[in-house]
Amino acid sequence: MITSVLVANRGEIARRIFRTARSLGLSTVAVYSSADARMPFVDEADAAVHLPGNTPGETYLRSDLIIDAARRTGADAVHPGYGFLSENAAFAQAVLDAGLTWVGPPVDAISSMGSKIEAKKLMAAAGVPVLAELTPAEVSADDLPVLVKASAGGGGRGMRVVSRLEDLAAEIDAASAEALSAFGDGTVFCERYLASGRHIEVQVMADRHGTIWAVGERECSIQRRHQKVVEEAPSPLVERIPAMRPRLFDAARKAAAAIGYVGAGTVEFLADEDGNFYFLEMNTRLQVEHPVTEETTGLDLVELQFAVAAGEHLPPEPPPTVGHAIEVRLYAEDPLHDWQPQTGTLQRFALEREVRVDSGVEDGSEVSPYYDAMLAKVIAYGPDRTAVARRLAGVLQRATIHGVGTNRDLLAWVLRHPAFLAGDTDTAFFDRHGVAPGPDDAVVRLSALAAALADAAGRQARTPVRVPSGWRNLVSQPQRKSYRYGDVVVEVEYRLTRDGLTVAGDTALISLDCGHVVLEVDGVRRSFDVAAYDGLTCVDSSLGSVALRPVERFVDPAAQVAAGSLVAPMPGTVIRVGVAVGEVVKQGQPLLWLEAMKMEHTIAAPADGVVSELTVEAGQQVEVGAVLAVVGEET
């Protein structure tokens, strides 16, 4: 009998499991790294144990420390969540050896699916459709394009698409190196690449008594870097091809039965537009996107995990799927700059609660470079797919998210895109349609004007003598204030007159206080909410959200870097250095590779030249803005 559960995870999924555990009357235990000491999940647990260090290797991947924490706190069960050790058979066995209940599948089932190469052989033998595996040596021009995949992991790590035979060897080496770093196993294989396939998966739930449920399917085709961004249930493709669902469910049940599966798991398939599908992998754990299945079935999958772990029987059949649910993953990243992760303090985080928000953060949370960039999952449910998509887009657009850049605008754009609303959602969505553009120049300028006016009003309110800066007895020059938006500097003007603050041109100031500005342009009135933080001003309006950085009038010379300097765009770890001092390089040539938030990022030469300085080495941790190398002219 389970009375206390330790969740061997962090963030959003830890909070999600705690929520169900509390409803079942179980006490909860958290483990946390130094970087996570002030995160919400730590305070929400009944007890918490510190794992010294920051990186996953020092903390959440240390099975010995986690089991010791369970012993010290009196926990009698361990739930792994997803990621980290959730699909590690050795960890599952260690939990059982310690006399604890493992809230997960049998150790042998985890081992069977741990190698994608061996898993595909098992599935083929069980009658599940698979794509033929290709060894790197046998790939020919007729096989192209191919996908190089890590055998031991997922999440887009160790994965490369190869379209030219001459690139194959180099991409295999790169994928193998990334897989070795991420999973401790550099084994890779190749398979035929379906450039515009559909990613369809089936949620399974099985008990110890032979009952196997296929609990509806999900579609997760909209991806970036082979990682999911938007997930929904049911699948638009399967809805269009009704005969596909029984075949999918039958294949998923066969897959689970072939390995004696028990608990919650997901069988993933790659499908084409005609309804043909092929086994990709089986995730022997709870999936990130499990909420859409919960919303459309009324099930609590975590509660079922606890029940199955305790030996309870499942009913003969699962409940039917009703309505439609869509989940979006809110990431701290910049889609317009190669999905670059964003770090820093999340000053404000507020979404309307008319939808489900599974979040790992709150106001004041620190987004660190050590873990996945996902801040929250936002899920909407209703009877109609189009209405659900539009409602979810509106909630995202009205969200207040300050301090860290996110993919919020991209998600709202996807949900309103005609192709998405038509159900045309294959894995090449972003390749075909691009990504959401940022706000246009007019919106940025109007937001900057609102920010400057709110700043001026705030300074007036704080000034003991009511003669504000810039006041003149006669008409003189306007006040000017500059903001940086990305790489662009925006300068705006306003005047201080006997009647107060005014603006010129076709823009009229209607009302103003420190945090709220109403402007009218060409007869259209709009409201702007302005929030100022140290070095950052955030402006929210119906035109969108704009994050501005005030430009200081006097720049600290120590903050300047030499021309040709390559600086770290984010905190991270240097995993490879591809050049040496004195080496001649070409514009765009990769020079260094950084790893941050479970993603690999290439730092390339900004121009032709020679490497005159190299300030880092492999394995070194760097902060954002740190100079990594300098590329000077060849002369």
| Per-residue model confidence as pLDDT tens digits over 513-522 | 879 999 999 8
* Stated pTM of the model: 0.89
Contact 329, 288 (CB under 8 A): yes
Check if 348 is active-site. no
Residue 162: which pLDDT band, with cuts at 50, 70 and 90?
very high
573 touches 594 (CB < 8 A): yes
Nearest to 509 by CA among 491, 496, 493, 521: 521
Amino acid (1-letter code) at residue 518: V
In percent, how much of the chain has pLDDT > 70?
Answer: 95
Distance CA 257, CA 243 (A): 22
Q: Residue 109 — very low, low, confident or very high, per pLDDT cuts 50/70/90?
A: very high
HEC string for 133-176: EECHHHCCHHHCCEEEEECCCCCCCCCEEECCHHHHHHHHHHHH
**pLDDT above 80 for 544:** yes
DSSP 439-472: --HHHHHHHHHHHHHHHHHHHHHH-SSS--TT--
- Residue 8: alpha-carbon gap to chain centroid: 20
CB 337 within 8 A of CB 405: no
In this structure, are strands 198-206 and 212-224 parallel, antiparallel, or unpaired? antiparallel
**Which residues on adjacent β-strands are paired with residue 532?**
537
Q: Are 236 and 385 in contact (CB under 8 A)?
A: yes
Per-residue pLDDT band for 459 (boundaries 50, 70, 90) equals confident
- Partners of 479 in beta bridges: 494
Query: Does residue 628 register a pLDDT over 60?
Result: yes
Asked if pLDDT for residue 462 goes beyond 70, the answer is no
Residue-level pLDDT at 505: 78
Cα separation values, 390 from 233, 379, 385, 394, 413, Å: 16, 12, 9, 6, 10
CB half-sphere exposure, 558, CA atoms < 13 A: 0
Token pair 């269009």: residue:
240
pLDDT tens-place string over residues 569-607 = 877 888 889 899 989 999 888 899 888 776 777 888 888
Task: Give the residues across from 484 on adjacent strands.
Answer: 489, 549
Residue 482 in tokens: 């500059």
Burial of 546-570, coded b for 16+ CB within 10 Å and e otherwise, reads bbbebeeeeeeeeeeeeebbbebbb
- Calpha distance 48→271 (Å, rounded): 43
How many Cβ atoms are within 10 Å of 184's Cβ, its own excluded?
A: 11
Q: At 242, is the pLDDT very low, low, confident or very high (cuts 50, 70, 90)?
A: confident
- Band (pLDDT 50/70/90 cuts) for residue 556 is low
Q: Give 494 or 194, the one with higher predicted confidence.
A: 494
pLDDT at site 262 = 98
Which pLDDT tens digit goes with each residue over 353-367? Answer: 889 999 999 999 999
Retrieve residue 39's tokens: 């995160």
Two tokens, residue 478: 């306007």
Q: Choosing from 15, 218, 224, 285, which is the catalytic residue?
A: 285
Q: How far apart are CA 591 and CA 578, in angstroms?
A: 5
In terms of pLDDT, which residue wins out, 234 or 476?
A: 234
Whole-angstrom CA distances from 302 to 103, 239, 431 are 9, 27, 35
Whole-number pLDDT of residue 469:
57
Strand spans (E) along 61-211: 77-79, 101-102, 133-134, 146-150, 160-162, 188-192, 198-206
- Token readout for 46 is 């009944």
Dump pLDDT digits (tens) for 171-223. Answer: 998 888 888 876 778 888 888 887 779 999 999 999 999 999 999 999 999 99
Report the amino acid identity of residue 451: A
Cα–Cα distance for residue pair 30/48, rounded to 1 Å? 4
pLDDT higher than threshold 70 for residue 316: yes
Identify the CA nearest to 203 among candidates 278, 256, 137.
256
**Rounded CA separation 600/44 (Å):** 32
Give the chain's domains with CATH numbers.
4-103 (3.40.50.20), 441-550 (3.30.700.30), 557-632 (2.40.50.100)
Amino acid at 188: V
Check residue 502 and give its pLDDT.
Answer: 84
**277 pLDDT exceeds 80?**
yes
Span 117-145, pLDDT tens digits: 889 999 999 999 998 878 888 888 888 88
Question: What's the token pair of residue 127?
Answer: 């009658």
